[in-house]
Amino acid sequence: GNLNNNALIISNFNSSNIITINNDMSLSVNFTIEQGIKFIINPNINFTINDSVILTNNGILIDYGEINGNGNLINNNGFIFTDHRN
């Protein structure tokens, strides 16, 4: 099934766990990308990590857009891929 709030879509299909950011959004609470999860920021999207907020990556973070803000991104045995050719 899907959970869609216009900015964040969480999908679980074919044994794949994918979180897709389709609209500009701000992360206002701590969040962990668990192992086996793909977290994708689509092209031309601004993903802001607010002050004092931590995004922890244990999975795969694919950044086609922009990650900004004064929060923290912690990479723990995860992978981060960026592609800003658009």
The contacts of residue 25 (CB under 8 Å, 6+ apart) are 7, 8, 45, 46, 47, 48
Range in 27-31, 70-74, 82-86 with the lowest mean pLDDT: 82-86
Q: If pLDDT is split at 50, 70 and 90, which confidence band does 74 have? A: very high
Q: Taking 80 as the threshold, does the pLDDT of residue 7 lie above it?
A: no
Q: Looking at residue 9, what is its pLDDT?
A: 52
In angstroms, rounded to a whole number, what is the distance separating the alpha carbons of residues 19 and 7? Answer: 10
pTM: 0.80
Q: Taking 80 as the threshold, does the pLDDT of residue 35 lie above it?
A: yes
Q: Looking at residue 84, what is its pLDDT?
A: 74
- Mean pLDDT estimate for the chain: 82
- CB distance 40 to 60 below 8 Å: no
